[in-house]
């Protein structure tokens, strides 16, 4: 055991000696590495922050551009829908007039009781138009018996 102790003590002394010998060099190299690493980390951190800021501003710009283009498309769609509503409203009005005229024409031709004549007939020499009142539509119209034509407006007044 004594031999073992002396060996252990010797080994410990040698390792301490080498430790003392190598430690200042290791400290300097370790500190220089640590300083370089810190500088690199700081530079990397700064670079990362700049990169994040540029990415953020780039993403922000791209997002803003995307949002503006979507708003432009939505605005165009709204304008298109409004113009389409106007066209369809005009088309519906024309269809209602045509339908009312064709109903009036068919009811007069069939002798239906829904339309009443005012008994006002224009002088046959000057006009063939008769004024009627359609109770279904609740409007007056004029009908020409010779041509079979119907009109909402008084043709003789024009």
- Per residue in 109-144, pLDDT tens? 555 445 455 554 444 445 788 888 888 888 888 888
Q: Return mean pLDDT, the chain.
A: 69
Any idea where the domains of the chain sit in the sequence?
A: 49-158
For the ranges 56-65, 69-78, 146-155, which has the lowest average pLDDT? 56-65
6 C-beta neighbours (distance < 10 Å), count = 10
- Distance of alpha carbon 157 from alpha carbon 123, whole angstroms: 14
Q: Among 60-64, 88-92, 142-146, which is the least confidently predicted range?
A: 60-64
Indicate the Cα dihedral angle 125, 115, 105, 124, nearest 10°: 0
Predicted model pTM: 0.30
Strand arrangement, sheet containing 129-134: 115-121, 129-134, 139-144, 150-151
Report the C-alpha gap between 120 and 12 in whole angstroms: 137
What is the CB neighbour count within 10 angstroms for residue 110?
9
Q: What pLDDT digit, counting tens, does each position of 1-30 carry?
A: 444 455 555 555 555 544 444 555 555 655
């Amino acid at each position: 055991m004594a031999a073992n102790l002396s060996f252990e003590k010797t080994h410990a002394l040698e390792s301490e000696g080498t430790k003392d010998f190598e430690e200042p060099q290791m400290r300097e190299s370790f500190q220089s590495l640590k300083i370089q690493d810190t500088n690199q980390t700081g530079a990397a951190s700064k670079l990362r922050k700049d990169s994040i800021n540029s990415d953020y501003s780039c993403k922000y710009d791209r997002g803003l551009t995307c949002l503006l283009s979507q708003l432009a498309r939505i605005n165009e769609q709204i304008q298109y829908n409004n113009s389409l509503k106007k066209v369809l409203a005009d088309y519906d009005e024309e269809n209602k007039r045509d339908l009312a005229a064709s109903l009036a024409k068919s009811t007069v031709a069939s002798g239906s009781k829904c339309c009443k004549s005012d008994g006002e007939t224009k002088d046959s020499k000057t006009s063939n138009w008769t004024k009627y009142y359609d109770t279904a539509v609740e409007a007056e119209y004029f009908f020409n018996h010779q041509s079979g034509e119907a009109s909402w407006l008084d043709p003789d007044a024009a």
